[in-house]
Structure 1
Amino acid sequence: MRLADVVALVEGWYPPHRAEEWDSVGLVCGDPDAEVRSILLAVDPVQAVADEAVAGAADLVIVHHPLYLRGTTTVAASTSKGRVVHDLIRSGCALLTAHTNADSPAGGVSEAIATALGLSEIRPLDPDPHEPRDKIVTFVPLSHADQVRTALAEAGAGSIGDYDSASFVSPGQGRFRPLAGANPTIGTVGDLEVVEEERIEVVADRSIRSRVLAALIRTHPYEEPAYDVLELADLPDPTRGSGRIGVLPDEVTLREFADHAASVFPQTAGGLRVAGDPERPVTRVALCGGAGDFLLGAARRAGADVYVTSDLRHHPASESVEDGGPALIDVAHWAAESLWLPVLRDRLVDALGARPNDTVGVSVHISTTTTDPWTFRV
């Protein structure tokens, strides 16, 4: 498996264009044509993870947090980040980052946390809008309908969720009169023509509109094909968005839920911090991987009994509790986001597997290094 193929696979699940504008995601170092047989997954691209990758002869490290989030003008080994780059390149190991582009989609960080906590009816806490989409409608004589449908699908139209080549067809009649100067495929200049046609409707991401229309015009038999482009409403995407909210199988107290959460998240020196009445009943749980105090209001509006996230600041947390918001559980940033790594591992294993005539295949490992920066508590 080439590195470029693995990168394409991961970025198909977690598209780079869905990352926040301030973020830095994608391939940090590595030869796209290099072969990948061993992959290491980690949260942080720190020296201990690089050492683990080198010791394990990994060909690729996939991390959640960027190495150079704020950019850089040097990768000299005189800096800690530069040493990571030098050590990985020297051992032939690539580095790939999926950060905010991996936070919000299905199979992403927040959904992984929700699943690990045992929630059901999981949905985004703050849904993203769907990718802007068009409906494209055209009218084609029966003799060329299959050809045009195939061309639209090959251009990317008709993709809906886990399906492609989706279209709707209805029969009808096309009426037109070719005028002087026309070169009609069907009919005669000056005569009114009636043709049995199919109305073909497809949806497509607006970003590929020009490609889809070019395919339509190229394969349509008419000199002047008729078509409509309808911009669809930007509705919320039920599979993608910031944070998640779901329900527990049974009502528990806040103390019981905190104990349950502590058993799910990897242990860290800081443990869990909890704000709220220990006897408060908890059924509806909101959460966000990473620093999530920007969703405190959304958690309250959604009727959450408790909100689980990381890096809560004093004033937003205090004001939320004072204003009647949900109970709060603050978990170590690394511990929360590490729950995504088993999900990513399983997706990679299912997608890569063993290649034909290859009994080794591609191995995928989760780092055993704890990269939470806090080492002890007094």
Structure 2
Amino acid sequence: MPQQPTLGDVVALLDEWYPPATADSWDAVGLVYGDPAAPVSRVMLAVDPVLPVAQEAAEWGADLLVVHHPLFLKAVHGFPATTPKGRTLATLAGAGCGLLTAHTNADQALGGVSEAMALALGLTEVEPLVPADPAAYDKLTVYVPAGDADAVRTALAEAGAGRIGDYDSASFSSTGEGRFRPLPGASPAIGSVGSLETVEEVRVECVLPRPLRRSVVAAMVAAHPYEEPAYDVVELAPLTPSSTGTGRVGHVPRTTLREFATRVVEALPETASGIRVGGDPDRPVETVALCGGAGDFLLDRVASGGADVYVTSDLRHHPASEFLEKEGPALVDVPHWAAEWTWLPVVEGRLRAGLGATVETRVSTTVTDPWTLRL
């Protein structure tokens, strides 16, 4: 029988899919509450960490509640149960249910919020609207006496250099002659002060993630026998565009704005507020840009991007009005909760695939959109 995963195991999976390090600097993501050593048999997913959702998780017997929006986005000095956020956490804690947030780290990721929304709306050929900066790499080249090359290569690999995809310890070596003259004050490992020395050396080259540059160079210098190793570091240009990023853009079979908006209504969970459409209902639509959550910060980018319509949430009066006056894309404003809810079944599917029958999952259908009545 498969071993029951711990909370730490589930968190590690989620962190792999939605790395916390990719969250915006102002965000608060990751494990909010719970013991990583505790066993997990039930995981519930929701958009908002609010009391009705916490009560649902407690009544179902969830061991972990995974949410999109942070419970504590701003710093707090306490969370007494006399406050809304305190009541939510107290309910989860009383039921032994952990809490994890994946917010802006889930917005940009593959299988993240905007991508899930794009697929729910039937978009094809989906790409990031604003691609993330691709991973930055350097190439380190160092010259080592032949007898010490293996030790230096090992030190480089242990420091994180030479990792390419599913391979590690990757490097290239070529042989040649090194020449140098130790000057007064030097303590040469090979040769003597004042004498020109010729040494059989190996040129070792490897790639490394740029954030590891300082530690990799330090490891190389520590393993190198020379008092003053000869080496250089070159920044590599990115060769492939990033597959992650903010928002998404894709295509639908040619339709009208009215028909596309109807498709949006049918694809998203129902809310009291419904959706709003700005633009000529009969205009043709083929290219769709979107952003899960509040996306008015992308209006300028969308205006010049060639989309026929932009789908997002929480559009304000003046920015929307000025955007439409430019006679660019149409606008479809959808409820924030409904747009981001489309991500939950995606995460559920990934958890089932990753954890198998060891864990039950549940997507909350509790509507936590703040608007409850439209007249």
Corresponding residue to 2:336 among 325, 333, 342: 333
Aligned pair in 2 of structure 1 residues 322, 54: CA closer, same or farther (>3 Å)? Answer: same
Counterpart-to-counterpart distance in 2, 1:243 and 1:181 = 59
Question: How far off is 1:167 after superposition?
Answer: 3.8
Q: Residue 129 of structure 1 contacts residue 235 of structure 1 at CA under 8 Å; is this kept in 2?
A: no
Corresponding residue to 2:207 among 176, 198, 202: 202
Counterpart-to-counterpart distance in 2, 1:129 and 1:236 = 11
Counterpart-to-counterpart distance in 2, 1:205 and 1:24 = 25
Q: Residue 145 of structure 2 contacts residue 199 of structure 2 at CA under 8 Å; is this kept in 1?
A: no
Question: Could you give the per-residue CA deviations for residues 117-163 of structure 1, whole angstroms, max 9, x where no partner exists?
Answer: 23233222122323554332222344444443343233222345565
Question: Which residue in the other structure is 1:356 paired with?
Answer: none
Question: Which residue in the other structure is 1:366 paired with?
Answer: 363
Question: Which residue in the other structure is 1:151 paired with?
Answer: 155
Report the 3-state secondary structure (helix = DSSP H, G, I; strand = E; otherwise coil) of the residue aligned with 1:113: helix
Q: Residue 175 of structure 1 contacts residue 195 of structure 1 at CA under 8 Å; is this kept in 2?
A: no
Q: Residue 169 of structure 1 contacts residue 201 of structure 1 at CA under 8 Å; is this kept in 2?
A: no
Question: How far off is 1:52 after superposition?
Answer: 1.5
Q: Residue 61 of structure 2 contacts residue 95 of structure 2 at CA under 8 Å; is this kept in 1?
A: yes
Q: Structure 1, unaligned stretches of length 5 or more?
A: 354-359
Question: How far off is 1:288 after superposition?
Answer: 0.4
275-284 or 7-16, larger mean C-alpha shift? 7-16
Identity %: 58
Map 1:340-355 onto structure 2 (within 5 A).
340-353=343-356
Corresponding residue to 1:259 among 247, 258, 262: 262
Map 1:86-97 onto structure 2 (within 5 A).
86-97=90-101
1:324 has 2:345 as partner = no
Q: Which amino acid aligns with 2:202?
A: E
Q: Which amino acid aligns with 1:370?
A: V
Report the 3-state secondary structure (helix = DSSP H, G, I; strand = E; otherwise coil) of the residue aligned with 2:243: strand
Counterpart-to-counterpart distance in 2, 1:119 and 1:161 = 29
Q: Residue 7 of structure 2 contacts residue 36 of structure 2 at CA under 8 Å; is this kept in 1?
A: yes
Counterpart-to-counterpart distance in 2, 1:361 and 1:261 = 35
Counterpart-to-counterpart distance in 2, 1:148 and 1:9 = 33
Q: What is the aligned residue count?
A: 370
Question: Could you give the per-residue CA deviations for residues 20-74 of structure 1, whole angstroms, max 9, x where no partner exists?
Answer: 2332222221122222222111100011211121112111111000112233222
Q: Residue 179 of structure 2 contacts residue 196 of structure 2 at CA under 8 Å; is this kept in 1?
A: no
Q: Residue 135 of structure 2 contacts residue 209 of structure 2 at CA under 8 Å; is this kept in 1?
A: no
Question: Could you give the per-residue CA deviations for residues 169-218 of structure 1, whole angstroms, max 9, x where no partner exists?
Answer: 44443333445665555556624213141331312132x22321232223
34-43 or 308-317, larger mean C-alpha shift? 34-43
TM superposition outliers: structure 1 runs of 4+ over 6 Å:
none
Report the 3-state secondary structure (helix = DSSP H, G, I; strand = E; otherwise coil) of the residue aligned with 1:308: strand
Report the 3-state secondary structure (helix = DSSP H, G, I; strand = E; otherwise coil) of the residue aligned with 1:238: coil
Q: Residue 177 of structure 2 contacts residue 198 of structure 2 at CA under 8 Å; is this kept in 1?
A: no
Counterpart-to-counterpart distance in 2, 1:137 and 1:196 = 13
Map 1:219-368 onto structure 2 (within 5 A).
219-232=223-236, 238-248=242-252, 250-353=253-356, 361-368=358-365
Counterpart-to-counterpart distance in 2, 1:170 and 1:346 = 48
Q: Residue 127 of structure 1 contacts residue 236 of structure 1 at CA under 8 Å; is this kept in 2?
A: no
Alignment root-mean-square deviation, CA: 2.5
Q: Structure 1-normalised TM-score? A: 0.88
Counterpart-to-counterpart distance in 2, 1:235 and 1:315 = 40
Question: Which residue in the other structure is 2:128 paired with?
Answer: 124
Question: How far off is 1:332 after superposition?
Answer: 0.8
Q: Residue 129 of structure 1 contacts residue 236 of structure 1 at CA under 8 Å; is this kept in 2?
A: no
Counterpart-to-counterpart distance in 1, 2:275 and 2:166 = 38
Counterpart-to-counterpart distance in 2, 1:45 and 1:183 = 63
Counterpart-to-counterpart distance in 1, 2:281 and 2:263 = 13
Aligned pair in 2 of structure 1 residues 167, 115: CA closer, same or farther (>3 Å)? Answer: farther
Q: Residue 139 of structure 2 contacts residue 205 of structure 2 at CA under 8 Å; is this kept in 1?
A: no
Counterpart-to-counterpart distance in 2, 1:140 and 1:351 = 44
Question: Could you give the per-residue CA deviations for residues 332-367 of structure 1, whole angstroms, max 9, x where no partner exists?
Answer: 1111111111222233333333xxxxxx52333222
Counterpart-to-counterpart distance in 1, 2:199 and 2:313 = 66
Q: Residue 136 of structure 1 contacts residue 204 of structure 1 at CA under 8 Å; is this kept in 2?
A: no
Question: How far off is 1:272 after superposition?
Answer: 1.9
Counterpart-to-counterpart distance in 1, 2:372 and 2:316 = 20
Report the 3-state secondary structure (helix = DSSP H, G, I; strand = E; otherwise coil) of the residue aligned with 1:129: coil
Corresponding residue to 1:112 among 110, 113, 116: 116
Aligned pair in 2 of structure 1 residues 331, 134: CA closer, same or farther (>3 Å)? Answer: same
Question: Which residue in the other structure is 1:176 paired with?
Answer: 180
Q: Residue 177 of structure 1 contacts residue 193 of structure 1 at CA under 8 Å; is this kept in 2?
A: no
Counterpart-to-counterpart distance in 2, 1:367 and 1:88 = 15
168-177 or 191-200, larger mean C-alpha shift? 168-177
Counterpart-to-counterpart distance in 2, 1:93 and 1:294 = 35
Q: Residue 128 of structure 1 contacts residue 236 of structure 1 at CA under 8 Å; is this kept in 2?
A: no
Question: Which residue in the other structure is 1:357 paired with?
Answer: none
Question: How far off is 1:317 after superposition?
Answer: 0.7
Report the 3-state secondary structure (helix = DSSP H, G, I; strand = E; otherwise coil) of the residue aligned with 1:341: helix
Aligned pair in 2 of structure 1 residues 169, 35: CA closer, same or farther (>3 Å)? Answer: same
Counterpart-to-counterpart distance in 1, 2:110 and 2:188 = 49
Question: Which residue in the other structure is 1:9 paired with?
Answer: 13
Q: Structure 2-normalised TM-score? A: 0.89
Report the 3-state secondary structure (helix = DSSP H, G, I; strand = E; otherwise coil) of the residue aligned with 2:75: coil
